[in-house]
Structure 1
């Protein structure tokens, strides 16, 4: 009896272990993987953009595969680091298309690198979702090109509406001399009159400049009510520090290109009081319960922090949204690029980290004014402005 009981126990134990292994085993796919290209500035000066984008793409891919993939096909992300360099971005895109045979591409992180590869994806017919902000990426509409980052058209409008509400009428602008800065400058100049605002001084700075006191001194002479800086780190942090050094106490507005903890880290005490438009992720917990993005944002933040131990930002959300939009568009296509493109253009009502997407033939960004809120940096964190 003892021997028979021991055999039964061993058999049952083995069965439990086997079932446990089966339960915990990853999903086994019979179909071939769909390869998705990712091109991000994972390292280099723009890594604050590209690193969370890479991580968020990987997180989204794992979520999709855990649900069974796309029509039984697993998703495989093939990711290259562009270092924020247009030449390296071109090489990466060519490799993704000719060697890796990807069905679509997500990224890159910056407007200049995006514009460098748009002609390639357009010529070869590859669905492409940029994570950069410049409006010229999708205006005029290009058949194969979409983007998830909130547009600088909406960002400028958000700033000017806030200024108008608070009686600011004269501004000095300081913009970086790359595609992102040029696009921002154009919008700042074009929209100013719509809000009764006058641009009294217009200055520029190089992406690698380490001192902007000369430009700020020229702006100060024109006695503006506020300064608007348009760029991505580290330049905008230098502007904030230089304004403090010059004793300039008027409000400083920044673009959504610095909407991450990295700006606060770089600017230090000079970040205090800086205002900027941002996606809702920085103030997700402050949003009303009625906001449809709130549960999506809180879940993304929790999952990202659990997986990577912190560092969440709206920039990662651009890639996360892109992958989930792409997954939706890929359903029922068999990986056919033209069908994926067509389906992307039909997506509406998709609530993501960056906003609610409503693509169309005439709009390949698909976001409205509600994708932005205005925030102010106070005591080293973000506060929602009214």
Structure 2
């Protein structure tokens, strides 16, 4: 379950390299992570793990951070929140890491939050729910857009299409529960009527009962699904099997080509809010993000022969935010690194342009989200 990537590279003879590695062991910068690299959220966690390994190796080859190499310590929690909490504890108490970048799911992240806060260690989460950073927690930050932002983006698109009655189908998971709560709030604010409110289990292999209720209700003009991992795939397939033709929206928890592959033709026409990374080539040349996401996409494709998902991008942004903060701090002193993360301004990443503050530990605006539609097995800008 544990994989260590110790980025100490010998640059001369093996003997010299060994001595250098021994001498610098105390100077290693330790970055810890717990990710859902296997299990039901693996299509989120696996690319995150790959990206952290890839870029830590690259940073070390380029000389490290202020001359110090990185040791990356990664645990696979298998999307089990209890394991995530145990691994976070191990990272803090046994591995003595300087910063944590991880937490694929909301449940896993929230299991680690009190530990990071108590230990006073900077923690950059890769999960989506707004509860991670609201209310603000001194030592906790996140890179993905929130579920509230996703709900707002969907509501704006509904309004643009002249639709005002929405059926909500959410997953009984941390992300799904938070997404449901935020959707209900935003719908009320935006004048969208929720005409159905159904729940499905994260491990359900059939959701036709809930979908049939929505169909028989007869009031909905569109359907929004809030979930991640395998669940949304099941929902999408069942949706088409029932012959439902209303506009189908998903939250940003499915912004991966794996979702399209697993859902197959059933995914055609699905709309969701996503980062510019998935439509990199379609962004305007004037968009400052385009250069960043194009470079990241090229690097990822060359290394893994696959297109990057937004989740891969979340890991990249989390790592880079930590790296840049350590550079600016000139030390791994946890309080100073925390302060520098909070001072991040104008960082252009795969998720958008990040400007944090004492009251905003994510730093993304709604303009960092794009509405995309799945057409012929690919992402298409629908803004």
TM-score with structure 1 setting the length: 0.91
Give the distance between the partners of 1:318 and 1:145, measured in 2 at CA: 15
Counterparts in 2 of 1:292-311, with a 5 A limit? 292-311=288-307
Q: Count how many residue pairs are aligned between Structure 1 and Structure 2.
A: 365
**In 1: Cα distance, 2:54 partner to 2:335 partner:** 26
Question: Of 249, 254, 257, which residue of structure 2 is paired with 1:258?
Answer: 254
Give the equivalent residue in structure 1 for 2:37. 42
Confirm or deny: 8 A CA contact 2:331 2:337 kept in the other structure.
no
User: Runs of at least 4 residues of structure 1 off by over 3 A?
Assistant: 28-31
Counterpart selection for 1:149 from 144, 150, 154: 144
Structure 1 counterpart of 2:115, from 104, 111, 120: 120
Matched, 1:193 2:193: no
Q: What displacement does 1:189 show?
A: 0.6
Q: TM-score, normalised by structure 2?
A: 0.92
Determine whether 1:369 maps to 2:366: yes
Let me know the Cα RMSD of the aligned residues.
1.8
SS of 2:346 mapped into structure 1 = strand
Aligned to 1:335: 332
Q: Match for 1:349 among 342, 346, 349?
A: 346
Question: Aligned partners of 1:45 and 1:239: how far apart in 2?
Answer: 15
Decide which moves more: 47-56 or 60-69.
60-69
Q: Spell out, residue by residue over 1:331-351, the C-alpha distance to the aligned partner (whole angstroms, 9 max, x if none).
A: 234210011001111011000
1:135 to 119, 122, 130: 130
Specify the alignment match of 1:382 in structure 2.
379
Judge which range, 124-133 or 190-199, deviates more. Answer: 190-199
Q: CA deviation at 1:196?
A: 2.2
1:72: Cα distance to partner?
A: 1.3
2:322 alignment partner in structure 1:
326
CA-CA distance at 1:66 after TM superposition = 3.1
Mean Cα deviation higher: 29-38 or 322-331: 29-38
Gaps of 5+ in 2: 1-10
Between Structure 1 and Structure 2, whose CA radius of gyration is higher?
Answer: 1
Partner secondary structure for residue 109 of structure 1: coil
Q: In structure 1, what is the Cα distance between the partners aligned to 2:247 and 2:229?
A: 19
Contact map agreement 1:279 1:371 (CA 8 A) in 2: yes
Corresponding residue to 1:270 among 242, 266, 270: 266
Alpha-carbon distance in 1 for matches of 2:331, 2:183: 44
Structure 1: gaps (5+ residues):
1-20
Partner secondary structure for residue 348 of structure 1? coil
After TM superposition, list the pairs within 5 Å mapping 1:98-113 onto structure 2. 98-113=93-108
The residue correspondences of 1:154-233 to structure 2 (distance < 5 A) are 154-223=149-218, 224-233=220-229
Aligned to 1:236: 232
